[in-house]
Amino acid sequence: MTTQEFVPGLAGVPAAESAISYIDGAAGILEYRGYRIETLSEKSNFEEVAWLLLKGKLPTRAELEQFRTELRARRDLAAPLLTLMRALPREGHPMNALQASLAGLGMVSPKVDYRDADSSWEAILRLLAITPVLVATFERLRRGDDYLAPDPELNTAANFLWMLNGERPKPIAERTLDCALLLHAEHTMNASTFAARVVASTEADPYTMCSSAVGALFGPLHGGANERVLQALESIGGKQNVDAWFAKKRASKGKIMGFGHRVYKTKDPRAITLQRLVRELFGELGTTPIYDTALALEKAVVGALGDKGIYPNVDFFSGIVYQKLGIPTDVFTPIFAMARVTGWLTHWQDQMKHNRIFRPGQIYIGKHDQPWVPIEERG
Ligand code: CMC
């Protein structure tokens, strides 16, 4: 390639050919393997969708059962990993704990040979099965509870809630979290997926890759936006304060978390489905006042910035869902991560099929042939 044009943020520059997921940002369409996200969130579930992404086709009943059995068989934490988790500082952020414990998981797992299908599948299963357990376990340990063994009868979402709370979740809670996981499972070449593919391209193992991708997801411009949305909604203090809050934010040129997207120039289809989940949850569990604040903020932001393509993204309503499920605010982004592990691993499989290490260029704008100045002569 001879082009010397610098594209900040690599906006629109293809980093891979991929048949995993597809976004039409103008029309607000998201598909996984050609299936619309609305169809999947109505008819499917997180584990079936994980299979769809990883295998490229919907599973048969037998394949899905086998997949579920394989996941359930891998959820228990190895003793050295639990020791590591007990040693992590409780005051730290759960995303840092997840990054550290995913690296730890790699240290207690069999070595991965990406050329070997069985070895690769084993690593995929372990990462899918254990990541939610790491998130739930850190939350338990930091609040002073002990490790709770997984329940082998439960699916990923229900087992996560079980491990977090020590009681079997209500069907509405399980269904809602399951759908939220499905919505977050994959999203083309976002920052954490790109980071994952860069790490994978060095032939680092998938545990290292996922740990690195968690770091990329943590930032407030990416997955870290969801906890900040809730903090902002709470700090506004009621829908009557929205206009004043928004005016102040605009005057300081601050970004409103949960709005805007590199690809979508309309409302994110995942936000639309999350809003449906909010309404369903409220129907059973009662409303949350910050939802009214959120609706007022959406109206204000879209009214002022809709022409620029600024609409709610996936992070805008997810926090309201998780809060209603009793999940602490700083666990929102780890939940994003335990879903997105699916996408990272699917991209890992693709990357390793025709791997070439990522090594982009740069446009050098510095000096050349500088004369050497001895230290005593420097000003
Ligand atoms: N609030 C106010 N203005 C915004 C926002 C926002 N949230 N997002 C973009 N803009 C404005 C921005 O100021 C810029 O205006 P101008 O052209 O006048 O300078 C214009 O829109 C383009 O913004 P950008 O930052 O250059 O766009 P980008 O494609 O580089 O960034 C983004 C995309 C998602 C990082 C950005 O919209 C943003 O920072 N949003 C807030 C953080 C957030 O909600 N992140 C979650 C993203 S979705 C899920 C995920 O990936 O995790």
Mutation to probe ligand 1, out of 308, 311, 316, 340 (largest number of atoms < 8 A from CB): 308
Q: What is the predicted pLDDT for the residue at 336?
A: 98
Residue 228 C-beta-side C-alpha neighbours within 13 Å: 14
Q: Which residues of 230-259 are buried (b: 16+ CB within 10 A; e: fewer)?
A: bebbeebeebeebeebbeebeeeeeebbbb
Mean pLDDT of 232-239: 96
Tokens of 9: 């943020």
Decide if 261 is catalytic. yes
Give the distance (Å) from ligand 1 centre to CA of residue 291: 22
Using an 8 Å Cβ cutoff, are 273 and 38 in contact?
yes
Q: What is the predicted pLDDT for the residue at 3?
A: 57
Q: What is the predicted pLDDT for the residue at 240?
A: 97
Q: How does DSSP classify residue 241? A: G
Q: Give the separation between CA 50 and CA 56, rounded to whole angstroms.
A: 10
Tokens of 80: 């050295």
**39 CB contacts (<8 Å, ≥6 apart)?**
none
The percent of residues in the chain predicted with pLDDT above 90, rounded, is: 98
Protein residue whose Cα sits closest to atom 40 of ligand 1: 260
Mean pLDDT of 132-160: 97
Domains of the chain (ranges plus CATH)?
Answer: 21-219+329-353 (1.10.580.10), 225-324 (1.10.230.10)
> Which residue among the candidates 184, 315, 347, 350 is catalytic per the annotation?
315
Q: What is the predicted pLDDT for the residue at 100?
A: 98
Instruction: Name the residue among 319, 354, 50 with its Cα closest to residue 181.
Output: 50
User: Which strands make up the sheet holding 29-32, listed edge to edge?
Assistant: 21-24, 29-32, 35-36
Protein residue whose Cα sits closest to atom 27 of ligand 1: 262
351 to 61, 197, 348, 355, 369: CA distances (angstroms):
29, 7, 5, 5, 40
Mean pLDDT of 214-227: 98
For residue 200, which amino acid is it? A
Which tens digit of pLDDT belongs to each residue from 22-65? Answer: 999 999 999 999 999 999 999 999 999 999 999 999 999 999 99
Using an 8 Å Cβ cutoff, are 206 and 124 in contact?
yes
Q: What is the predicted pLDDT for the residue at 41?
A: 98
Asked whether the predicted pLDDT for residue 1 surpasses 90, the reply is no
Which tens digit of pLDDT belongs to each residue from 313-364? Answer: 999 999 999 999 999 999 999 999 999 999 999 999 999 999 999 999 999 9
Q: What is the mean pLDDT of the chain?
A: 97
Which tens digit of pLDDT belongs to each residue from 100-145? Answer: 999 999 999 999 999 999 999 999 999 999 999 999 999 999 999 9
Pocket of ligand 1 (CB under 6 A): 9, 190, 221-223, 225, 255-262, 305, 308, 310, 313-315
pTM of the entire structure? 0.97
Mean pLDDT of 147-173: 97
Q: What is the predicted pLDDT for the residue at 4?
A: 77
Report strand pairing: 35-36 vs 21-24.
Answer: unpaired
Give the distance (Å) from ligand 1 centre to CA of residue 222: 10
Mutation to probe ligand 1, out of 21, 261, 272 (largest number of atoms < 8 A from CB): 261
Using an 8 Å Cβ cutoff, are 268 and 298 in contact?
no
Q: What ranges make up the beta strands (E) of 25-111?
A: 29-32, 35-36
Decide if 146 is catalytic. no
- Residue 21: CB atoms within 10 Å: 22
Q: Give the separation between CA 226 and CA 297, rounded to whole angstroms.
A: 15
For residue 165, give the 3-state DSSP assignment.
Answer: helix
